[in-house]
Amino acid sequence: MWKSCLKLIIPMLIFGSIGIFVRGISLSTVELVFYRVFIASIFFSLLMLLKKKNPFRCGKRALCLAAVSGVIMGINWLLFFQALRWTTVAAGTMTYYLAPVLVLFAAPFVLGEHLSKKQVITALLAPAGLALIVFSSGESALTVYHHGLGLLCGAGSALFYAMLILCNKKLDNIDNMDRTLIQLLAAALVLSPVLVKNHNFSVVRSNLPMLLILGIVHTGIACYLYFSGLKETPTHLTAVLSYIDPVSAVFFAAAFLGEPISPVQLAGTAVVLVSAYLSGKSQTGAGSPGCDKVDEVN
């Protein structure tokens, strides 16, 4: 049991540290996302070759939906990474974790699921917790960051993450690894015009070590460990362990980026995570954003 738990805890900590790398790479957000999906798609392609698997044997309909969800994933990452650059990691991450709440509200229309008053009240806790995080940042943080734009990007990333979760519910017959490779390839293809626009490859070379870590470690290795852990760990435990990601993101930002952290912010973080957990649980039985970490590959 401990080995399977470690396979989930380690990738959660890796995902939680992503804000440090997003801030540390001196490329535009579009370039950053492109190189992440490009490097990760090479990693997963090599993995498929070693396993002698063909990820494209899933039918035309599923293949098209997986490709569309890959484009959604690319937009999701663009907005999320920009949020991490324009606002604090805590605010950006917690805004991103509004996605299960959005899925909860969309479920009656998209999935035909009933929404109770209790679920609505639970979901409304999330924006209240987010307000605690943002407005307790202090005046210095408010002047250093573009909180308004950052929160808009965070909300947009949550919206596209919610769309991704809904898409992946329609793709539950495809293996996680196969689906992720198709999504990465689709995202890389859509973002490939970046290569034509960007002629300053010296900047790319100077950032190459961190880009390789972002693509191979944060996306390839972390997801591989996560998928392995999913097969061996009970669903309810997976849901709980998945919240190591956002919690560690807040503490990593405080330790390595010098972002302020206060008791009020911690309280707001707890409120958002409880809301996200209960929203996911009420919809799937024991779900959470982390249960769809394959969608996020954060």
- The Cα 7–Cα 3 span in angstroms is 6
In residues, how long is the chain? Answer: 298
Structure tokens at 69: 């969800």
Residue % of the chain over a pLDDT of 90: 34
Residue 174 has pLDDT above 70, yes or no: yes
pLDDT single digits (tens) 195-243: 777 666 777 788 999 999 999 999 999 988 888 887 777 766 776 777 7
16 with 188: CB under 8 angstroms?
Answer: no
User: Is the pLDDT score of 134 beyond 80?
Assistant: no
pLDDT tens digits, one per residue of 82-105: 999 999 898 888 888 777 778 777
Torsion of CA 107, 270, 88, 138, to 10 degrees: 130
Q: What angle do CA 121, 90, 126 make, to 5 degrees?
A: 5
| pLDDT per position as a tens digit, 22-53 | 999 989 999 999 999 999 999 999 999 998 88
pTM of the model: 0.84
Q: Which residues contact 52 (CB under 8 A, 6 or more apart)?
A: none
